[in-house]
A and B are shown apart, each in its own frame.
Chain A
Amino acid sequence: MRRICLYFQVHQPFRLRVYRFFDIGVSHDYYHDLNNRALLERIARKSYLPMNALLQRLVEKWGPERFSVSFAISGVALEQMEWYAPQVLESFQALYATGAVELVAETYAHSLACLKSRREFERQVRLHLQKLKKLFDAEPRTFRNTELVFYDEVAQWVSQLGFSAMLAEGADTLLGWRSPNFLYESAAASIRLLLRNYKLSDDIAFRFSNRDWPEWPLTAEKFARWIQDLPADQPLVNLFMDYETFGEHQWAESGIFAFFEAWVNRMLESGEAVFVTPRAVLQALEPQAALSVPAPLSWADSERDLTAWLGNELQTDAFESLYALEEAVSGIQDPAIQRDWLRLQTSDHFYYMCTKFFSDGDVHKYFNPFSSPYEAYVTYMNVLSDFTQRVKEAAPRRVMTSD
C-alpha cells in the first residue's frame, strides 16, 4: 500500500500600497487594502472555494481513512480571510471538521525570521499555534518553515518546540542518491522529515498546462501510472504545492480540477494507494535514514536556496534594516506596532525585490504589485523608515542602531 501525502500551502501577504517618501512620518497606513481584498476574493473564487468543495466531495466519497490532506495556512492569510472573506475561512473550517485534514504549523507571518532570530522565530510559531487553536481548535504536531526553508539548527528548534515532524524540500543536495519517497529523520534533532518529491509535485504545480512540456497533456491516467510505476519498496510520495495551483496558477480551463479529481479516484479505485496526513505517515512508517543539512535549503527555483529572498543588495539591506529593530520592538506593547512588525516580516516583500528576471522570474512576478525590484525596495524602505520612527518614539529610552 503506497501512501500519498498531499500538502497544500495557503498564504497571502499584506501587500504594500504605493507609499512615497513624503508619506514618512505622515501616514502609518501601509497596506493596499483594496488590492489585497480584491486579490483574496479573486483567488477564493477561482481557487480556494472550488478546490475546498472538490476535496469535501472526495472526503465524503472515500472517507478520511482513505482520503486525507494537510494544509498550512499562514497567520497573515487567516487574518485576511477573517477581514475580507469570512466565507473562505468557514469553508476551511468545514473541511477541517470532516476529520480528513491535518493543519501544519508555520511562522505566523510566513517569515524568514529563523535566519535572524530564534526568539522571533519561536514567537511567531507560537502565535500561529494560538491562531490555529482559536480558529480550528487544532493542535498541530507537524511544522513547515516558510518556503520549506530547512537546515539542522532549525530542525533542533522545531523539535524543542514539541513538533514530531517537519516538511522539507527533497533537494538533491540533501538526498544525494536517496529517494524522497521514504520517511527520514533529522541527524541533528529528534524530528521526522517528510521530503517533497519535487518532480511529481512540480509536474502538477508548474508544468500541468505547459504545452512545451513533452508530457503535455498530463492525464489522470498517466499521472497515476507514474506513481504506480515507482519501485514497490518506496512507501511514500510527498506532493507539496501552493494551494493556488488549483484554479489560479493553473486555470480551471486547463482542466486542473477535473484532472485532480479523476486522478484521486483512479488511485483509490486501484486499491494500491491511500492519501494520508503527515501524522498518519509517522504512525505507519519508520525513518529510512538520518539526514543532515548545515546550510538553508528551500523549495524555490532551480537553486533550492534563499537567493530569491536574500540574493541581492536590495534584499539584504531591507532584511538587515528590518531585523535591526527586533530588540526595540520586543519591548513595545502597542498592538499596531506589533501588527506591522509581523506583516513587514512576510517573505513576499523580499521576493518582490528579487532580480533573477531571466531564470525563474515568471513565478516571482505572480501577484507582484511592483513593476521593478527597485520600486519594491524603495516602497518597502519608505514604509520601514516610517515604522522605525514609530518604534523610536514608542521606545524612547532604547538606543537605536538602524537608520
Chain B
Amino acid sequence: MKVLMLGWEFPPRIAGGLAVACYGLVKGLVHHGVEVVFVMPLRKGDEPAQGYRLLGANEIEVPLGSVPKESWVRTVTWYGLETWLGPYLEQIATSPLEFRTVWPEEVEAPPGSLRLEFSGRYGPDLLDEVYRYAYVVSHLAERETFDLIHAHDWLTYLGGIALKEKTGKPLVVHVHATEYDRSGEGANPLIYEIERRGMEEADAVVAVSWYTRSIVVEKYGIPSEKVWAVHNAVLPKDRVPVEKPPSSRKVVTFLGRVTRQKGPEYFVEAAARVAPYVPEAHFVMAGTGDLLRPMIHRVAQLRLGSRFSFTGFLPPAEVEKLFDLSDVYVMPSVSEPFGISALEALRAGIPVIVSRQSGVAEVLPHALKVDFWDVEGLADLLYGVLRYRGIRPFFQRHAQEELAQLQWERSSARIVELYKTLLA
C-alpha cells in the first residue's frame, strides 16, 4: 500500500502542531508497512527521512504552459490579506498589504519547464503558495505511482482534489484545524470554501478529535458516516527533562499562536486574578500572533508587566527548555481541534490545564479542565496547582499512564484500517 501524502509542515520546520502530527503519523504508517511519499512546499534537505520519501514542491519541475484553464481556483479574487490570514501571519502586519490578483494570470508562460519557488511559511503570500503548490503537485499524477492521496489541512486540499481528478485514486483529507476554530463565526469565506470543497470531494475525512468531527459535520455539512475521528498521539520522550533549578518562583506557561483561537486573553485575565494571591507566580506567554500587542497592552494596563514574560515564537529546543522551567501549562483555547502541545507538556511532566473546548480533553480524562470563558474557574485551578500539594503527584501518575496509551502506532492503525476500507 502506497500513499501520496500532502502536507504543509514537516520537522524541523515547526510552526505549530501540524508538523509534529504529520511526522508522528508518517512514522506510525511506516511502522505498519505503508509506503509514504510526503510532499511539502519547501524541502531543504535537512528533514529526517527514514523509511519514507520526502519531496518538496520546490523540486518538482512543471511545464508552465499547462495551467488548467477551467480551474475554479482562478476565479477567486484576492482581498487585503491582513484581515484574512491574521492567524497565520508570522509577523504582525505593520502596513496595509497591497491588493493583488491571483496567480496564474500573473505568470508569464515561457516554453519549457521551471521549478517554482516556495517559502513554506505562513507569510503574506500564503494563498499564492497554496495555489502554486496545488498546481505543482497535480503533476505528480503522471510521475508517481500510489494507491491513495492523503492531504493535511486546507493548504493542501486543492492539490489533493486535482490529483484525485486526474488519477481517480481515493482522497483522504485530514482535518487538523478548521477555519471555524481559527476565526469562529468570522471565518474567512475563501478558506472555509476550500475546506468544505476538500471535505466534499474526499472519499473520507479524518478529524483529529470527536470535537473536530462534530464541527466537520455541523459547520461544513459533511455526512457523518464518512468522517472518522482519529486522535493525535505523542512520540516517546527522546530526552530527559532537566531538573528544575531550585527556585521559589512558580512559572505558569501559555504556549501557542497568540490569536483568538488560542484564548490568550483568558490566560491574562486569569493571571491577573492569581497574581496578587501568589506573589511567587510568574507568567510566560510564548508565541506570536495578531493578539500579541493587545495582550502586552492589557498586561501593562493591569500593572503586571514585571510578572509577565513575552518570549515571541520559540523553536522546539527552546520550547523544551521552557517546559523544564514551567510549573503548570495552560491551554485556554476557544476552539482547539486537538492541542498536541498539551501532550508535549505532559511528556515533560508538567500539570496541564486544558479548555473543555479542545480535542485533547477527550483523551486525557485526568487532565484539569475548564471552560475557556470561565476565567475564575481557571484562576482557581491555577491557584490550586500552585498552592496545594495533592494535585501534582496525583496528576503526574495518572497523566503519564494516559500518555502511554497515546501512541502513533495506534492512531496510524486506525488510518490503515481506513485506507483498507477505501481500497476494498
A interface list, Cβ under 8 A from B = 20-22, 24, 312-318, 355, 357, 371-372, 374-375, 377-379, 381-382, 403
Q: Which residues does chain A contribute within 8 Å of B389, judged by CB atoms? A: 313, 317, 403
Query: Are A374 and B376 closer than 8 Å at their CB atoms?
Result: no
Q: Name the one of B377, B379, B394 contacting A313, with C-beta atoms under 8 angstroms.
A: B394
Smallest CB separation, B145 vs chain A (Å): 46
Smallest CB separation, A288 vs chain B (Å): 43
Query: Are B388 and A317 closer than 8 Å at their CB atoms?
Result: yes
Q: Name the one of A21, A312, A317, A403 contacting B383, with C-beta atoms under 8 angstroms.
A: A21
Known: A22-B273, A377-B384. A314 touches B391 (CB 8 A): yes
Known: A22-B277, A382-B380. A374 touches B391 (CB 8 A): yes
Known: A316-B390, A355-B366, A372-B368. A20 touches B376 (CB 8 A): yes
Map CB proximity to A onto B386-413 as digits: 1 under 8 Å, 0 otherwise.
Answer: 0111110110011000000000000000
Q: Which residues does chain A contribute within 8 Å of B277, judged by CB atoms? A: 21-22, 24
Q: Which of B368, B391, B394 has the most CB of A within 10 A?
A: B394
7 pairs, A vs B, C-beta closer than 8 Å: A20-B380, A318-B390, A374-B384, A375-B381, A378-B383, A378-B388, A381-B390
Q: How many pairs of A and B residues are in contact by the CB < 8 Å rule?
A: 65
CA gap between A318 and B394 in the complex, in Å: 13
Known: A372-B369, A374-B368. A317 touches B379 (CB 8 A): no
- Knowing that A314-B390, A375-B380, A378-B383 touch, tell me 13 more A-B residue pairs with CB under 8 angstroms: A20-B376, A20-B383, A21-B277, A21-B379, A313-B389, A313-B391, A313-B393, A316-B390, A372-B368, A377-B388, A378-B381, A378-B388, A381-B388
Query: Are A378 and B393 closer than 8 Å at their CB atoms?
Result: no
Map CB proximity to A onto B350-373 as digits: 1 under 8 Å, 0 otherwise.
Answer: 000000000000000110110000
Query: Are A374 and B365 closer than 8 Å at their CB atoms?
Result: no
Q: Name the one of A316, A355, A382, A403 contacting B398, with C-beta atoms under 8 angstroms.
A: A355
- Which chain A residue lies CB-closest to B396? A313
CA gap between A252 and B384 in the complex, in Å: 41
CA gap between A372 and B383 in the complex, in Å: 16
Query: Are A357 and B365 closer than 8 Å at their CB atoms?
Result: yes
CA gap between A372 and B397 in the complex, in Å: 17
Instruction: Give the 10 A-B residue pairs with the shortest CB-CB distance, closest first.
Output: A378-B384, A317-B390, A313-B394, A21-B383, A314-B390, A381-B388, A313-B390, A313-B393, A20-B380, A374-B368
Main secondary structure of the interface of B (DSSP, over half): helix
Smallest CB separation, B384 vs chain A (Å): 3
Q: Which residues does chain B contribute within 8 Å of A22, judged by CB atoms? A: 273, 277, 379
Q: Which residues does chain B contribute within 8 Å of A20, judged by CB atoms? A: 376, 379-380, 383
Q: Which residues does chain A contribute within 8 Å of B380, judged by CB atoms? A: 20-21, 375, 378-379, 382
Q: Which residues does chain A contribute within 8 Å of B377, judged by CB atoms? A: 375
CA gap between A382 and B277 in the complex, in Å: 12
Known: A21-B277, A317-B388, A355-B398. A374 touches B393 (CB 8 A): no
CA gap between A374 and B366 in the complex, in Å: 9
- Among B18-50, those with CB < 8 Å from A are none
CA gap between A62 and B388 in the complex, in Å: 56
CA gap between A20 and B276 in the complex, in Å: 14
Smallest CB separation, A176 vs chain B (Å): 34
Q: Which residues does chain A contribute within 8 Å of B387, judged by CB atoms? A: 21, 381
Q: How many residues of B contact A (CB 8 A)?
A: 23
Smallest CB separation, A12 vs chain B (Å): 25
Q: Which of A21, A371, A375, A403 has the most CB of B within 10 A?
A: A21
- Which chain B residue lies CB-closest to A374? B368
Smallest CB separation, B20 vs chain A (Å): 27
Q: Name the one of A21, A24, A312, A403 contacting B394, with C-beta atoms under 8 angstroms.
A: A312
Known: A378-B381, A378-B388. A314 touches B394 (CB 8 A): yes
- Among B312-343, those with CB < 8 Å from A are none
Smallest CB separation, B197 vs chain A (Å): 39
Q: Which residues does chain B contribute within 8 Å of A379, judged by CB atoms? A: 380
- Among B69-85, those with CB < 8 Å from A are none
Smallest CB separation, A29 vs chain B (Å): 17
Q: Which residues does chain B contribute within 8 Å of A355, judged by CB atoms? A: 366, 394, 398
Smallest CB separation, B382 vs chain A (Å): 9
Q: Which of A317, A355, A378 has the most CB of B within 10 A?
A: A378
Q: Name the one of B273, B369, B376, B384 contacting A381, with C-beta atoms under 8 angstroms.
A: B384
Smallest CB separation, A356 vs chain B (Å): 11
Known: A21-B277, A372-B368. A377 touches B379 (CB 8 A): no
Smallest CB separation, B196 vs chain A (Å): 34
CA gap between A334 and B180 in the complex, in Å: 57
Query: Are A377 and B391 closer than 8 Å at their CB atoms?
Result: yes
Map CB proximity to A onto B100-130 as digits: 1 under 8 Å, 0 otherwise.
Answer: 0000000000000000000000000000000
Smallest CB separation, B6 vs chain A (Å): 39
Q: Which residues does chain B contribute within 8 Å of A375, judged by CB atoms? A: 377, 380-381
CA gap between A315 and B393 in the complex, in Å: 12
Q: Which residues does chain A contribute within 8 Å of B398, judged by CB atoms? A: 355
CA gap between A313 and B396 in the complex, in Å: 11
Q: Which residues does chain A contribute within 8 Å of B365, judged by CB atoms? A: 357
CA gap between A381 and B368 in the complex, in Å: 16
Query: Are A374 and B273 closer than 8 Å at their CB atoms?
Result: no
Smallest CB separation, A7 vs chain B (Å): 35
Q: Which residues does chain B contribute within 8 Å of A313, judged by CB atoms? A: 389-391, 393-394, 397
- Which chain B residue lies CB-closest to A21? B383
CA gap between A314 and B388 in the complex, in Å: 9
Q: Which of B380, B383, B393 has the most CB of A within 10 A?
A: B380
CA gap between A222 and B318 in the complex, in Å: 69
CA gap between A20 and B388 in the complex, in Å: 13
Smallest CB separation, A365 vs chain B (Å): 14
Q: Which residues does chain B contribute within 8 Å of A21, judged by CB atoms? A: 274, 277, 379-380, 383-384, 387
Q: Which of A315, A372, A374, A382 has the most CB of B within 10 A?
A: A374
CA gap between A355 and B402 in the complex, in Å: 14
Smallest CB separation, B395 vs chain A (Å): 8
Q: Which residues does chain B contribute within 8 Å of A372, judged by CB atoms? A: 368-369
- Which chain B residue lies CB-closest to A379? B380
Q: Which residues does chain A contribute within 8 Å of B274, judged by CB atoms? A: 21
CA gap between A374 and B370 in the complex, in Å: 10
Smallest CB separation, A371 vs chain B (Å): 8
CA gap between A379 and B376 in the complex, in Å: 12
CA gap between A199 and B389 in the complex, in Å: 39
CA gap between A371 and B391 in the complex, in Å: 16
Q: Which residues does chain A contribute within 8 Å of B397, judged by CB atoms? A: 313
CA gap between A389 and B369 in the complex, in Å: 29
Map CB proximity to A onto B180-198 as digits: 1 under 8 Å, 0 otherwise.
Answer: 0000000000000000000
CA gap between A402 and B383 in the complex, in Å: 18
Q: Which residues does chain A contribute within 8 Å of B369, judged by CB atoms? A: 371-372
Q: Which of B377, B381, B390, B391 has the most CB of A within 10 A?
A: B390
Smallest CB separation, A374 vs chain B (Å): 5
- Which chain B residue lies CB-closest to A377? B390
CA gap between A378 and B393 in the complex, in Å: 15
CA gap between A5 and B380 in the complex, in Å: 47
Smallest CB separation, A352 vs chain B (Å): 13
Smallest CB separation, A18 vs chain B (Å): 8
CA gap between A21 and B386 in the complex, in Å: 12
Q: Which residues does chain A contribute within 8 Å of B366, judged by CB atoms? A: 355
Q: Name the one of A24, A317, A374 contacting B381, with C-beta atoms under 8 angstroms.
A: A374
